[in-house]
Amino acid sequence: MAEKLISKIPEGPLAEKWTKHKSQIRVVSPGNKRKLEVIVVGTGLGGASAAASLGELGYNVKVFCISDSPRRAHSIAAQGGINAAKNYQNDNDSVYRLFYDTIKGGDYRAREANVYRLAEVSNLIIDQCVAQGVPFAREYGGLLANRSFGGAQVSRTFYARGQTGQQLLLGAYAALNRQIAAGTVKSYPRYEMLDVVLINGEAKGIIARNLVTGKIERFGAHAVVIATGGYGNAYFLSTNAMNSNGSAAWQCYKKGAFFANPCFAQIHPTCIPVHGDQQSKLTLMSESLRNDGRIWVPKKMEDVKALRAGTKKPSDIAEEDRDYYLERRYPAFGNLVPRDVASRAAKERCDAGYGVNNTGLAVFLDFKTAIERLGKDVIAARYGNLFQMYEKITDVDPYKEPMMIYPAIHYTMGGIWVDYNLQTTVPGLYAIGEANFSDHGGNRLGASALMQGLADGYFILPYTIGDYLAGKFKEPKTDVNAPEFAEAEKAVVEKIEKLFAVKGKRSVDSYHKELGHIMWEYVGMARNEAGLKKAIELIQALKADFWKNVYVAGENSHFNQELEKALRLVDFFEIGELMARDALNRNESCGGHFREEMQTEEGETKRDDENYMYVAAWEYKGEGVEPELHKEPLVYENIKIATRNYKD
Amino acid sequence: MDLTLKVWRQKNAKAKGHFETYQVKNISSDSSFLEMLDILNEQLIAEGVDPVAVEKGCQSSGPVSFDHDCREGICGACSLYINGRAHGPDDEVTTCQLHMRKFKDGDTITIEPWRSAGFPVIKDLVVDRQAFDKILQAGGYVSVGTGGVPDGNAIPIPQADAEESMDAAACVGCGACVATCKNGSAMLFVAARVSSLALLPQGKVEAARRAKAMVAKMDELGFGACTNTKACEMECPKHVTVTHIARLNREFLSAKLHD
């Protein structure tokens, strides 16, 4: 099956690959586009922009989302910004520099050609969003403003206050609405994809549950696009929205799409710390805060104790008694080191006993210096809504006392394996945005998720899918009465019936929380061989117990959130297991994946380029059978491989 | 803290709803309101009462359905009417940002869905807000396709205009404005979009058509008229102000004058 892993990276110099590829792939004539149907699952930045763009081109699009409106997709929660290589600040930014920073930030585990293309189209995205009426922040002269983000030494991040994801999504959603009104796109809100249907090995449709009526329905098309985001909720507590899940991607895996680098999960350094065991999710404080906020813990243990006892306030700690540990350890980048580096540094201080909060699992993010330097008004203009959000949750005013933060699961770099055309190993099945694995390697840089979602949806998929569909316009519409649809529907119905039939005592959420504890403990910020093996055992045991003792309330023929959660959790067990398996295989430390066995004396990551410079693509082999590992070698022709260095 | 909850239960759009009373105990004041509902649901699941059982005379309809997603105040999914206020007793928050420290031990809390002709109940506290999508489909966009647009810096926009546009664009489409309005008007929602785009040169081109189309669709979908009570502004979690309604009125009237 190894021949399936053909990345289809075009020949030629890096900077010419995409241009050359576009000129060589096939296009579909307008008349024929009208005969072709495409299903897009998910309406975040990737899905909404893809569906809108495909509709504009004249394809017949069906778009599905689990929320009551496409606008609620979790892209909306992205705060800080979107990168582009515009060089508007004249700080010597370029497509190459954005490409280089992204490859380096990803710890040399992303594909050169894909990342270069991403950097190349980044500028088009900004133009597109401005034209749609996205109210980006502007300077007094009326031109677009920028700020810096982690892992970069230039200011290339465009933003709309702390609501950039919201504004970009509203732009894509508006474009989608325009196509829905024009009739090229049909929208299916409150529908959840429960399986992908293959006919003769090609993706031809999906089975979806109408979340209001419970009806299981069949939808056919000439191609299917998965834009359903990441699988970070395997950890239960994460910054992902409550309904974010990995199930659509997982059904693709089970139908033959390879799943790549599942162990690469990003732990974001600036989240509001856990308050207790009633917690349902974690809230991110945008990375942009690290532009002006300084991260520290006390130098003296007596101050740590006084803070925990409440006898001292953070503002009482003298400047010389504060350990600005990122500035100390990484002088060149300071508080703007990449996310994985900042997260591990926080863990290191907390493990050493210097953590604050009553749990000892928090560090300070302090705006004192910035407020003194710039004034409260400037800080309020930059981060006002984030400060307000923080105060509402914690009851602490960050203008007066520093914020407390701690790392949390935020994003998954791994995902469905795709080739240069964003096609999976299943013909006709595409994956875009966070759902695929392609651009971020072992670690994603801040403000790059929005860039990738929109790059894929606006400017890459609409071209590359044409190459596939050009061979399909003579085929009739997919017949949803085909036996393959009936079979897939039957399997879905049986799975639902099986869940209700358990009639045990434990709630779905209680299992999800337990899975989350296992994942965070053994497949979290630091991993080792014994722990990963234990995680696999524990997850398998928990899954077996779930099928004996879970209680799924209600029935299928209603709006039933317990059933929705149960169906997603069934897949999270398996996703969690594959993450542990992949982490076990990758015996190196790289990006967000930190194997304790592989670290330098200073506790920095130690990559093993000789043995692990590859994409690990897993193939499903059946229930209870170990998946097969395929390796796509990563070849760097244009940049020199180096150890990441954020110190000098 | 220990609380008494009176929760609206309704099996589906056609069924008649009713209140059920529950007790929850040991709620942390740091918990969010929705986390408190999670605890209620865990309790109801542990008791093993099934939603279908209510028809057979059971006292409880099982776990309570409510819309929620991001739980950080930005997706606009959560939509509860708590003690007679949209998003409960705090200002400029969505329900997920409401924390239990706003209540006292021993309180009785009444929880209802949005109540408006424009938002029919789907189940319990979940309502159908597709009407908002339909209003935006009528014209809440700039008619540009993907590609072929000018450079992002080609048109300078005064910072104040961009900021004011952003104030309006902060709308999360939750529907609190409609739910709290005695007329069930969607004016603040419509105004947020019309105003945000009208303030920018990109949106100016179609401003007249947009204002007319969106207002017509709002009327067609059965939302009420605006009588300037400003209740919407009071309950908007994102502080979208009625200034934008004034701008909508101006855009709408000038468009009609040119007809």
What is the Cα A149 distance to its own chain's centre?
A: 17
Write the residue in A53, A161, A281 that is nearest to B146 by C-beta: A53
Quote the pTM value: 0.96
Residues of chain B with pLDDT > 90, as a percent, come to 91
Q: Which amino acid is present at B140?
A: G
The C-alpha atoms of residue A65 and residue A201 are separated, in whole angstroms, by 25
The C-alpha atoms of residue A274 and residue A350 are separated, in whole angstroms, by 14
- Whole-angstrom CA distances from A111 to A118, A236, A411, A566, B103 are 11, 30, 19, 35, 53
What's the pLDDT band for A642 if we cut at 50, 70, 90?
confident
Q: How far is A243 from chain B (nearest CA, A)?
A: 6
What's the pLDDT band for A644 if we cut at 50, 70, 90?
confident
Token pair recorded at residue A76: 């909306």
**Strand duo A403-412 + A415-416: pairing:** unpaired
The total of other beta-carbon atoms located within 10 Å of residue B83's CB is 14
- Give mean pLDDT, residues A343-347: 93
Residue A377 pLDDT > 90: yes
| Residue of B44, B74, B196 for testing the chain A interface, max A β-carbons within 10 Å | B74
Q: Which long-range contacts (CB under 8 A, 24 or more apart) does A371-376 make?
A: A371/A399, A374/A292
Q: What is the pLDDT of residue B51?
A: 55
Chain B residues close to A501, C-beta within 8 Å: none
Q: What is the pLDDT of residue A131?
A: 98
Measured N-to-C along each axis, helices A164-182 and B159-169 cross at an angle, to the nearest 10 degrees, of 70
Token pair recorded at residue A287: 């990375």
Q: What is the pLDDT of residue B239?
A: 95
- Give mean pLDDT, residues A505-531: 96
Chain B residues close to A88, C-beta within 8 Å: 153
Residues 6+ apart with CB under 8 A from B62: A553, A554, B44, B45, B49, B50, B51, B52, B53, B54
Chain A residues close to B46, C-beta within 8 Å: 505, 507
- Give mean pLDDT, residues A361-366: 96
Write the residue in A130, A212, A462 that is nearest to B122 by C-beta: A212
Nearest to A435 by CA among A59, A42, A35: A42
Write the residue in B75, B155, B163 that is nearest to A72 by C-beta: B75
The total of other beta-carbon atoms located within 10 Å of residue A637's CB is 8
The C-alpha atoms of residue A210 and residue A191 are separated, in whole angstroms, by 5
| Contact across the interface for B153 and A558, Cβ inside 8 Å | no
Residue A146 pLDDT > 80: yes
Q: What is the pLDDT of residue A559?
A: 95
Higher pLDDT, A4 or A586: A586
Which of A197-206, A254-263, A305-314 has the lowest average pLDDT?
A: A305-314
What is the Cα B85 distance to its own chain's centre?
A: 12
> pLDDT digits over B177-186, tens only?
999 999 999 9
SS3 content of chain B, % helix, strand, coil (to 5): 40, 15, 45
> pLDDT digits over A193-229, tens only?
999 999 999 999 999 999 999 999 999 999 999 999 9
The C-alpha atoms of residue A505 and residue A549 are separated, in whole angstroms, by 6
**Is there a contact between A579 and A523 (Cβ–Cβ < 8 Å)?**
yes
| Contact across the interface for B67 and A68, Cβ inside 8 Å | yes
Residue A306 pLDDT > 60: yes
- Whole-angstrom CA distances from A153 to A305, A338, A380, A503, A648 are 37, 11, 24, 56, 12
| DSSP assignment letter at A457 | I
The C-alpha atoms of residue A465 and residue A57 are separated, in whole angstroms, by 12
The C-alpha atoms of residue A464 and residue A222 are separated, in whole angstroms, by 14
The C-alpha atoms of residue A365 and residue A27 are separated, in whole angstroms, by 51
Chain B residues close to A505, C-beta within 8 Å: 46, 48
**Alpha-helix residue ranges (DSSP H) falling in A266-337:** 301-309, 325-329
Mean pLDDT, chain A, integer: 95
The C-alpha atoms of residue A431 and residue A172 are separated, in whole angstroms, by 18
Token pair recorded at residue A80: 């800080």
Residue A277 pLDDT > 90: no
| Contact across the interface for B146 and A459, Cβ inside 8 Å | yes
Residue A622 pLDDT > 90: yes
| Residue of A43, A89, A132 for testing the chain B interface, max B β-carbons within 10 Å | A132
The residue from A339, A568, A586, A607 that is catalytic is A339
Write the residue in A124, A129, A280 that is nearest to B35 by C-beta: A280
Residue B49 pLDDT > 70: no
Chain A residues close to B145, C-beta within 8 Å: 53, 56, 175
What's the pLDDT band for B54 if we cut at 50, 70, 90?
low
Write the residue in A133, A242, A275 that is nearest to B200 by C-beta: A133
Residues of chain A with pLDDT > 90, as a percent, come to 89
Question: Does A562 touch chain B if contact means CB atoms closer than 8 Å?
Answer: yes
B69 by DSSP, 3-state: which? coil
What is the Cα B8 distance to its own chain's centre?
A: 18
Strand runs (DSSP E) across A109-190, as ranges? 157-158, 185-189
Residues of chain A with pLDDT > 70, as a percent, come to 100
Dihedral, A518, A520, A522, A527 alpha carbons, nearest 10: 170
| Contact across the interface for B142 and A144, Cβ inside 8 Å | no
Residue B39 pLDDT > 90: yes
The C-alpha atoms of residue A62 and residue A293 are separated, in whole angstroms, by 44
Residues pairing with A158 in the sheet:
A82
The C-alpha atoms of residue B89 and residue B95 are separated, in whole angstroms, by 9
Question: Does A503 touch chain B if contact means CB atoms closer than 8 Å?
Answer: no
Task: Give catalytic status of residue A190 as yes or no.
Answer: no
- Whole-angstrom CA distances from A171 to A131, A518, A634, B145 are 9, 39, 35, 11
For A457, the closest chain B residue by CA position comes to B146
**Is there a contact between A408 and A237 (Cβ–Cβ < 8 Å)?**
yes
Residue A409 pLDDT > 80: yes
Dihedral, A523, A528, A530, A534 alpha carbons, nearest 10: 0
Q: How far is B183 from chain A (nearest CA, A)?
A: 24
Residue A2 pLDDT > 60: no
Q: What is the pLDDT of residue B47?
A: 85
Strand (E) or helix (H) holding B80 = strand B80-82
Residues pairing with B20 in the sheet:
B7
The C-alpha atoms of residue A346 and residue A325 are separated, in whole angstroms, by 9
Strand (E) or helix (H) holding A254 = helix A247-254
| Contact across the interface for B71 and A283, Cβ inside 8 Å | yes
**Is there a contact between B140 and A178 (Cβ–Cβ < 8 Å)?**
no
The C-alpha atoms of residue B67 and residue B78 are separated, in whole angstroms, by 5
- Give mean pLDDT, residues A107-116: 97
- Give mean pLDDT, residues B229-250: 97
Tokens 């293959």, located at residue: A198
Q: How far is A200 from chain B (nearest CA, A)?
A: 33
The C-alpha atoms of residue A566 and residue A209 are separated, in whole angstroms, by 14
3-state secondary structure A211-240: CCCCCEEEEECCEEEECCCCCHHHHCCCCC
Residue A100, class by beta-carbon neighbours within 10 Å (0-12 exposed, 13-18 middle, 19+ buried)? middle
The C-alpha atoms of residue B18 and residue B47 are separated, in whole angstroms, by 20
Question: Does A139 touch chain B if contact means CB atoms closer than 8 Å?
Answer: yes
> pLDDT digits over A170-196, tens only?
999 999 999 999 999 999 999 999 999
Question: Does A136 touch chain B if contact means CB atoms closer than 8 Å?
Answer: yes
Residues 6+ apart with CB under 8 A from A346: A269, A295, A363, A405, A406, A407
Chain A residues close to B28, C-beta within 8 Å: 275-276, 278
**Is there a contact between A437 and A395 (Cβ–Cβ < 8 Å)?**
no
- Give mean pLDDT, residues A300-323: 95
The C-alpha atoms of residue B209 and residue A306 are separated, in whole angstroms, by 63
The C-alpha atoms of residue A50 and residue A60 are separated, in whole angstroms, by 12
**Is there a contact between B5 and B24 (Cβ–Cβ < 8 Å)?**
yes
| Contact across the interface for A67 and B90, Cβ inside 8 Å | no
What is the Cα B258 distance to its own chain's centre?
A: 33
Q: What is the pLDDT of residue B53?
A: 55
A444 by DSSP, 3-state: which? coil
What's the pLDDT band for B59 if we cut at 50, 70, 90?
low
Nearest to A296 by CA among A268, A321, A267: A321
| Contact across the interface for A133 and B92, Cβ inside 8 Å | no
Residue A359 pLDDT > 90: no
| Contact across the interface for A68 and B27, Cβ inside 8 Å | no
Q: How far is A11 from chain B (nearest CA, A)?
A: 26
The C-alpha atoms of residue A489 and residue B217 are separated, in whole angstroms, by 38
Write the residue in B51, B74, B142 that is nearest to A76 by C-beta: B74
A582 by DSSP, 3-state: which? helix
Nearest to A521 by CA among A444, A566, A576, A567: A576
B123 by DSSP, 3-state: which? strand
End-to-end alpha-carbon separation of chain B, Å?
Answer: 61
For A66, the closest chain B residue by CA position comes to B69
Residue A338, class by beta-carbon neighbours within 10 Å (0-12 exposed, 13-18 middle, 19+ buried)? buried
Q: What is the pLDDT of residue A1?
A: 43
Q: What is the pLDDT of residue A170?
A: 98
Residue A540 pLDDT > 70: yes
Tokens 């899940």, located at residue: A245
Nearest to A131 by CA among B190, B160, B209, B154: B154
Touching B: A residues 295-314, CB under 8 Å: none
| Contact across the interface for A389 and B72, Cβ inside 8 Å | yes
The C-alpha atoms of residue A433 and residue A450 are separated, in whole angstroms, by 8
For A168, the closest chain B residue by CA position comes to B169
Q: What is the pLDDT of residue B138?
A: 98
